[in-house]
Amino acid sequence: MSTTQSITIPSSKMKSFLSGALAVMPLTIAVIPWGILAGSFALEIGLTAIESQAMSAIIFAGSAQLVALGMIKAGIGIGSILITTLLITSRHLLYAMAMRSQISPLPLKWRLGLGFLLTDELFAISNQAHSGDMASQHQFDRWYALGGGLTFYIGWNIATFLGIVAGQSIDNLGELGLDFAIAATFIAIVVPTVKKPSILVCVLVSLTLAVVCAVFAIQAGLLIAAISGMAAGMAYAKLTNEGAATDTPCA
Amino acid sequence: MTWLIIISMAAVVFVSRHLLLEPKIPIRLSKNTLTFLSYSAPAVLTAILAPIVFVPEGELSISLYNPYLTCALVATVLAYVTRNTLLTTVLSMGLFFFLYSP
């Protein structure tokens, strides 16, 4: 009995790890141009190659990295950068909240590891596994999550490295239009989440204000737009009693 | 200074991801806070992508000659119809580079 277990468990761990890696592959491929942009843009505004790579290796948050780089370029202080980072990253509080029941019983090393790897993409594939596979609906697989999270981490860092290498040899890499990759990835993530009218209101308010602020070059535009969008979505839901009518859990 | 920014940003990001996974944190976020947070992903991601699409050269460009805008519209339709991330990103980026390169 014990020998069979010691043979079968590692192979099922490996299987879960690999299926997690496979599940995150489309998102990893989609993020490559964006990682290249993160690496080359960091070099362009004057970071060293090691600092540029460290952003992806230590912070590991694409949108926060790119927005912070833009702020560093504009000469904005560290306080504003950190407040903006907090706002951009605040959605992870919600992801952690949603996965709390599954991850918090795990040993510390797993909590730290999966916490570090918790991105939009890892959250997306973890939820896919839940809705797609009825049998394992309530069974969170730590190896699946690790496979997905680690694959995405490695992919992001390789892409950043490519950007650093390319940025050193090609001028004006930022003008190749790689920033469209950010827009395309976020559209692909946001559109399927618009399941309620209040989310549509939130997106439209955020979009309008972000564009207005960009036109007038208002530096706190991201903060203003995102917080207003969140407030508008919530107000709409309250006013129309949306939550009571269509109470769909988000996870 | 750059290292200070990198390390303090890393701390902010890691804490936001890890904090609520800790069983010792006795969290009881109010229902209102949770509802508010549930809008953060669409709001933040939209606030980042909208200026890229509508204000590509620092000026408002609502025109079919703006490849960012046309390709973003294509991506939106693809995402809505297919719900497939890879298809949406690869096809819209392919179209973008086709239109963008001279």
Dump pLDDT digits (tens) for A52-103: 999 999 999 988 998 899 899 888 899 999 998 998 888 788 788 878 878 9
For A136-169, give one letter per residue: b (16+ CB within 10 A) or e.
eeeebbbbbbbbbbbbbbebbbbbbbbbbeebee
Please tell me which of the candidates A68, A92, A243 has its beta carbon nearest to residue B17. A92
pLDDT digits 0-9 by tens, A183-221: 898 898 889 889 999 999 999 999 999 999 999 988 778
On the question of pLDDT at A5 being above 70, the answer is no
pLDDT value at residue A9: 58
pLDDT of residue B102: 61
pLDDT, tens digit, for every residue of A33-47? Answer: 889 989 998 998 999
pLDDT above 60 (res A251): no
Q: Which of A148, A143, A32 has its CA nearest to residue B86? A: A32
Residue A174's pLDDT is what?
59
Q: What angle do CA B47, B52, B55 make, to 5 degrees?
A: 105
Two tokens, residue A218: 């208002």
With CB atoms and an 8 Å threshold, state whether A90 touches B16.
Answer: yes
Confidence band, pLDDT 50/70/90 cuts, at residue B95: very high
Mutation site for B-interface testing, chosen from A28, A63, A92, A118 by largest number of B Cβ within 10 Å: A92
- Per-residue confidence (pLDDT) for residue A130, from 0 to 100: 45
Residue A82, burial from CB neighbour count under 10 angstroms (0-12, 13-18, 19+): middle
Burial A20-30 (b: 16+ CB within 10 A, else e): bbebbbbbbeb
Chain A closest-CA separation from residue B64 CA (Å):
16
Q: Where are the domains of chain A?
A: 10-193, 194-251
- Rounded Cα distance between A138 and A47, Å, is 45
Mean pLDDT, rounded, for A118-142: 66
